[in-house]
Amino acid sequence: MKDWLPILGVLKNYDLRQDLRGDLNAGLIVAIMLVPQGMAYAMLAGLPPVMGLYAATVPILIYALFGTSRQLAVGPVAMVSLLIFSGVSGLAEPGSSEYVSLVILLALMVGVIQLMMGVLKLGVVTKFISHGVISGFTSAAAIIIAFSQLKHLVGIDLESSKNVFAIISEVILRIGDIHLPTLMIGLGSIAILIGMKKWAKKLPAPLVVVALSMLTVWALSLHTNGVAILRDVPAGLPGLTVPVIDTSLVLALLPTAITISIIGFVESYAMANVIAAKEKYRVHANGELRGLGLSNIGAAFFTGFPVTGGFSRSAVNYDAGARTPVAAIITSGLIVIVLLFLTGWFYFLPQAVLAAIIMMAVYKLIDVKEAVHLWRVKRIDGITLLVTFLATLTLGIEWGIAVGIAFSLLVFIYQSSKPHIAELGYVEELNLYRNVNRFTNAKTFEKTLIVRIDSPLYFANMEFIKDYLHDQVIKREALSHVVLDFSGVNDMDAIALDELEEWIRTERDNHHVQTTLVSVKGPVRDLLDRANWSEKFGAHSQYPSIDQALIGLNVK
């Protein structure tokens, strides 16, 4: 039971004196932060702003019960909202009842996918997405998110809303149509958010901006002068909804659902791990998938949209003193109070302010430092990040992540098909055998070549290895023995074994070169035994070490 409901273990050891104060403080601060953010992210997803509050009630409560992280703040996030808009806006008009119905179905699909991945223990699958891909995708998506809000910031109904370059071009062409009061509200909100982050970190900057902007619009009647405001935000709790399941719609939404399921989980799990490491407890990938899956299923049945754990709110939750999931329960309860009694307060809230909140929330996701680090440390990882970044900007977020994953897998296949191979020589002062290219004083042997292969052997890399060894045999006319150091070979498939046997026979028959294996690891040795290696090549075709092989071959 505790595997599915980790909160039971938390509540069993809950300390009212030490834990409750921190949970209350964190729950309140995150709720204050989540009200404007939730509405902003709903707007980003093409949904009525109140759905952002709906997505911050039941889903948060469900995650608090079933999630394995004690401080992760689950709810609407910018990245998922953009994925929703990108995936659903081509099927229905954003904001329409049909669009809302599709988003609710999407939430159910995301929840079912994540839940099934957790039940089937497929959390490991996400580890195949390299960090370079995630970083490149996140940075590009943050830029797309920011520019998608430009229409609200300048007060122009832009036709281009998905392509960054098209948005910039259209704004430049229509610069004379910019609505100055809207622009001033937006830029002023950004300035206040930046200033408060620098000089008043303890105050809830988004809430302050929301309050000031509503007072300004009301006092100056700016809504009668073209400033777009939220107007009526429905009061009351979300009603029970039953997603309409249609096979054709499910198939149309499936790519988006898979993308959100994986990206949402990766984002959430990464943040949960960071906090768990600091607090010295473990989060479990499959448990997190189950918790997030159930949260999204809950969102689907209570008029919400897909949610996940957010970086910024989780950091705020942790810094504010959250000790247990009780903080999330408090946050959910406070959002319920807002829905019941306080939605009327947001009538005069300008859409430009929500756009400013989104822009300020996502700019931190643009990770230039990581790009520079990867480029400096390992160039191919930096290239992977750059390819993903450019693909996401130019092709869109769904194709961008697909291109990044495909490119990273191709890089992995290419690199594994050309493994590191080192010729070894004897370094007397170390009494060890080392790479002759790194140790110039390493002693080699005229008639014996010692080679170490630093990779598992399988069908895709054996041709490269055979070509390398053959070239070495051809270069050395006096060569009579090849010693293959298998200390770096921890696995081998049957095809590679067959090809190695063929190469050994060919070199023996054509060039009179004998091959000996040394330092063969247990799993590979078992494979050789099943293939009757000793019967085929003799009892002395294997040795425990290079020294013993050289003594046995009368080289040393």
Q: What is the mean pLDDT of the chain?
A: 90
**Is residue 496's pLDDT more than 80?**
yes
What 8-state DSSP symbol labels residue 238? P
How many C-beta atoms surround the C-beta of residue 203 within 10 A?
11
Can you give the pLDDT at residue 39? 93
Strand segments, DSSP code E, in 60-200 are 74-75
pLDDT in tens, 317-350: 888 788 899 999 999 999 999 999 999 898 999 9
User: Is 354:40 a contact under the CB 8 Å cutoff?
Assistant: yes
If residue 193 lies in a helix (H) or strand (E), which one and from where to where?
A: helix 180-199
pLDDT in tens, 202-243: 787 888 899 999 999 999 999 999 899 988 888 999 989 999
Rg of the chain in Å (alpha carbons): 30
pLDDT in tens, 499-517: 999 999 999 999 999 999 9
User: Is 293:13 a contact under the CB 8 Å cutoff?
Assistant: no
Which residues fall within 8 angstroms of residue 200, CB to CB, at 6 or more apart?
none
**Is residue 161's pLDDT more than 70?**
no
How many C-beta atoms surround the C-beta of residue 366 within 10 A?
18
418-552: in CATH 3.10.20.30: no
**Is residue 396's pLDDT more than 90?**
no
**Is residue 142's pLDDT more than 90?**
no
Per-residue pLDDT, averaged over 6-20, amounts to 79
**Is residue 125's pLDDT more than 80?**
no
Can you give the pLDDT at residue 492? 95
Higher pLDDT, 178 or 197: 178
- Helix (H, G, I), strand (E, B), or coil: what is residue 89? coil
Can you give the pLDDT at residue 309? 92
- Paired strand residues for 517: 484, 542
Domain ranges of the chain: 7-232+241-363+379-410, 418-552
* Helix, strand counts (H, E) of the chain: 24, 8
Per-residue pLDDT band for 162 (boundaries 50, 70, 90) equals: low
Per-residue pLDDT, averaged over 511-533, amounts to 93
- Helix (H, G, I), strand (E, B), or coil: what is residue 137? helix
**Is residue 282's pLDDT more than 80?**
yes
How many C-beta atoms surround the C-beta of residue 101 within 10 A?
17
If residue 264 lies in a helix (H) or strand (E), which one and from where to where?
A: helix 247-279
- Helix (H, G, I), strand (E, B), or coil: what is residue 342? coil
Per-residue pLDDT, averaged over 273-278, amounts to 83
308-309 and 481-485 strand pairing? unpaired
Higher pLDDT, 193 or 316: 193
> Alpha helix locations (H) across 221-246?
none
Per-residue pLDDT, averaged over 108-126, amounts to 91
Distance CA 48, CA 41 (A): 10
Q: Retrieve residue 294's tokens.
A: 């159930």
Q: Give the phi and the psi of residue 423 in degrees, each rounded to 5.
A: -80, 130
Return the minimum-mean-pLDDT range out of 159-168, 202-211, 394-403, 493-502.
Answer: 159-168
- Paired strand residues for 453: 421
Can you give the pLDDT at residue 283? 87
Query: Burial of 253 by CB count in 10 Å (0-12 exposed, 13-18 middle, 19+ buried)?
Result: buried
**Is residue 1's pLDDT more than 70?**
no
Per-residue pLDDT, averaged over 90-102, amounts to 94
**Is residue 160's pLDDT more than 70?**
no
Q: Retrieve residue 158's tokens.
A: 């832009």
pLDDT in tens, 349-391: 999 999 898 888 888 778 889 899 999 999 999 999 999 999 9
Q: What sign has the CA pseudo-torsion 268, 270, 275, 276?
A: positive
Can you give the pLDDT at residue 191? 95
Q: At what angle do helices 494-511 and 522-530 cross, to 10 degrees?
A: 70
**Is residue 128's pLDDT more than 80?**
no
Higher pLDDT, 276 or 498: 498
Higher pLDDT, 283 or 16: 283
- Helix (H, G, I), strand (E, B), or coil: what is residue 237? coil
Return the minimum-mean-pLDDT range out of 71-75, 176-180, 273-277.
Answer: 273-277
Which residues fall within 8 angstroms of residue 556, CB to CB, at 6 or more apart?
547, 550
Can you give the pLDDT at residue 482? 95
Q: Retrieve residue 345's tokens.
A: 């307060």
φ/ψ region of 327 (left if φ > 0, alpha if ψ in -120 to 50, else beta) reads alpha
**Is residue 188's pLDDT more than 80?**
yes
- Helix (H, G, I), strand (E, B), or coil: what is residue 292? helix
Question: What is the side-by-side strand order in the sheet with 420-427?
Answer: 432-435, 420-427, 448-454, 481-485, 514-518, 542-543
Task: Give which of 100, 33, 48 is closest to 338, Cα–Cα.
Answer: 33
Distance CA 544, CA 247 (A): 60
Can you give the pLDDT at residue 65? 93
Can you give the pLDDT at residue 134? 85
Task: Give the pTM.
Answer: 0.80
Per-residue pLDDT band for 316 (boundaries 50, 70, 90) equals: confident
Q: Retrieve residue 7's tokens.
A: 């909160």
Return the minimum-mean-pLDDT range out of 151-165, 240-254, 478-492.
Answer: 151-165
- Paired strand residues for 331: none
